[in-house]
A and B are shown apart, each in its own frame.
Chain A
């Protein structure tokens, strides 16, 4: 019960000693932990929780950060990605936050991580048993774009009335000849709760189904936590005559040659030239280390984006 004295007394600079382990006070952690357990007990159901203001803005991963803060311990190895990459600025910022407030080891290696926090992607390397995937969620309610009122959507989930969602998908088919959702594609959890998988591309949806890892979803601003336990059925909505399908590319990754990963398009100039590279930066780097070469292998983007390098390229970019 002696929580106020739970202040770090180590050799950290003084300004960092004012905060408790993993930033949140113990009462807040307990509240989040209770919400996580109920979320795991009712897969896909959105548990309301007393989300707190974090030192990062709402919309920038506060739900994921609060989940991580409630579960992380000094024995964890933490990986944080944004758009699949470890070196995007917001991922760097969040990773640095936990390295500071939770004395935790960090990694870019998906296989070595015990907690993987992510915005918009699931890593290409299959998740393993014992890993926890924490996804940042801007809008937890899959029905929100169809019905703005929380009182209505909560009732729809309570009585399993998902007709509106199917109608909307069907309208897509009439308009475009196929289901138009490309990211944040709605899924059904254990055939009961309709759930937003967060804005991951639908390419990643199959990775959720029967995953051996614990999947936690946190929406800080909307104050909701939900979860999918390991080995749980996650079905992407579709119709018999319009089955669910994922994205495919005609190109391979220009750097590592992968033809199975999600690709980002990189604009090379204003003449319409572009290249495609793996969105999962660690997956791509690992393949290159193992000798896989793409058609543009050796391009400056393939250089390891450590800080000094990123900074150098940045300066070059400015000089040009």
Chain B
């Protein structure tokens, strides 16, 4: 009886949730994962959940991953719903990524740049061969990397600083506007969107969606001719000025990934031609996201650069309205809620159309039969 499945009632829901709990735990003969194990050993998943969840808290993100059985969009949703209940105290000072404690920094634009290329912990240049040693029970020995932190300068010049004296790269990121930055977690989208709103939407946006958009741009659907100026990953300190103190205090050191993508030159506001840039920044270590974000950011500037908006990745309404995984997942999946009232309304309409069609056809047949009879007589 299909009807009953819809009207499951409260006990059916409770039982479904219990079942879910059992499935989440899996075979109880296997030891349970701890939140700290997830935080430490699935750190890139934790980073993604924090970035798209708009909430930096590795412990909560790891808990969300555990509760969501490893489903990251679900974990992102859990973290966002929790975030809703938190009061907002204000907004931080802009982060100074130039002063990042760098773990990794690479530039594709130059063979070497001041401070050098720092490879850091990366999958790049690993051979993607399953490492069966990891499947072995028990702790395997880990070769630690030779550390040479003493040689790292306190502050690594950014690609923008390298270009600065020649003026080859547009200077941006300076917000002379005294208004507080746009905050999508408190205000709805508004169009035309300023860059702060766009960047926030991209930073919260679904990694897969932004990756595909960036890819589509590279393949010619709104190409920005990107060149990876710099990627850096490491800890940045977050400063905050509480109203009651009036001076800046340091809240935390937060790992972040930043990408500056150099794009085709343009003459902006009548200045000499310069490289333009796209910008990407995410919590944690996530280069795929930061790079995709920087390409899409630049593509979305097509209008500001006097270009024509022709491709999906350049269309801010298209990109910003469809990049949020929590919104998208909710709406696509709401289709499994009962819709039988609207379906009934449609069905009734369709039946009426069909019966009118049949009647008309019968009437036509009848009259042509009669005509045939008349002709036969």
Residues of A within 8 A of B (CB): 3-4, 18-20, 23-25, 27-28, 31, 48-55, 57-60, 62, 82-85, 87-90, 92-93, 96, 119-121, 138, 148-151, 176-177, 180, 182-184, 199-203, 221, 223-224, 247, 249, 262-267, 279, 301, 305-311, 313-314, 316-317, 320
Contact = CB atoms under 8 A, between A and B. Distances in A.
Interface in B306-338: 317, 321, 326-327, 329-334, 337-338
Contacts of B353: 176
B190 to A, nearest CB: 7
A247 B9 CA distance: 29
A249 B351 CA distance: 12
Contact of A54 (B1, B12, B84, B86): B84
A84 to B, nearest CB: 6
B2 interface: yes
B8 A89 contact: yes
Contact of B7 (A18, A20, A49, A305): A305
Contacts of A203: 345
Contacts of A57: 77, 326, 329-330, 333-334
Interface string B39-59: 000000000000000000000
Given A53-B326, A266-B3, A201 B11 contact: no
Given A87-B9, A305-B7, A201 B321 contact: no
Given A203-B345, A264-B341, A87 B331 contact: no
Interface string B160-204: 000000000000000000000000011111111000000000000
Given A92-B10, A263-B344, A82 B337 contact: yes
Nearest to A276: B344
Given A50-B187, A120-B339, A89 B12 contact: yes
A82 B338 contact: yes
Contacts of A84: 341
Interface in B203-235: none
A16 to B, nearest CB: 12
Contacts of A305: 7, 9
Contacts of B348: 182, 247, 249
Closest 4 CB pairs of A and B: A59-B334, A58-B330, A310-B9, A57-B330
A60 B337 contact: yes
Given A59-B331, A262-B341, A49 B12 contact: no
A23 B85 CA distance: 7
Interface in B344-362: 344-349, 353, 356
B10 A264 contact: no
A93 B188 contact: no
A3 B87 contact: yes
A53 B80 contact: yes
Interface of B: 1-13, 15, 77, 80-81, 83-88, 185-192, 317, 321, 326-327, 329-334, 337-342, 344-349, 353, 356
A93 B331 contact: no
Given A60-B330, A92-B13, A83 B338 contact: yes
A201 B333 contact: no
A183 B342 contact: yes
A27 to B, nearest CB: 7
A199 B9 contact: no
B6 A88 contact: yes
A221 B193 CA distance: 18
Given A27-B87, A180-B349, A90 B81 contact: no
A197 B64 CA distance: 37
Contacts of A4: 87
Given A58-B327, A182-B348, A267-B3, 12 more contacts: A53-B83, A82-B338, A83-B341, A88-B7, A149-B317, A201-B341, A221-B327, A263-B344, A301-B3, A307-B9, A317-B5, A320-B1
A53 B81 CA distance: 5
B9 A19 contact: no
Contacts of B334: 57-60, 138
16 contacts: A20-B85, A51-B188, A53-B77, A60-B330, A96-B13, A150-B321, A151-B192, A177-B356, A182-B348, A201-B344, A249-B348, A305-B7, A305-B9, A306-B9, A310-B8, A314-B5
Contact of A265 (B12, B338, B347): B347
Contacts of A149: 317
Contacts of B81: 53-55
A57 B68 CA distance: 14
A52 B84 contact: yes
Nearest to A121: B341
Between A87, A177, A266, A314, the greatest number of chain B beta carbons within 10 A of the residue's beta carbon is seen for A314
A203 B342 CA distance: 11
A248 to B, nearest CB: 9
Contact of B1 (A200, A262, A307, A313): A313
Given A92-B13, A183-B346, A305-B9, A27 B88 contact: yes
A320 B185 CA distance: 49
A310 B341 contact: no
Contacts of A184: 342
A108 B220 CA distance: 57
B25 to A, nearest CB: 18
B308 to A, nearest CB: 16
Contacts of B15: 311
A4 B326 CA distance: 27
A83 B345 contact: no
Given A51-B188, A120-B342, A176-B353, A311 B11 contact: yes
Given A84-B341, A182-B345, A267 B12 contact: no
A296 to B, nearest CB: 13
A93 B192 CA distance: 38
Contacts of B85: 18-20, 23-25
A25 B87 contact: yes
A50 B186 contact: yes
A310 B8 CA distance: 6
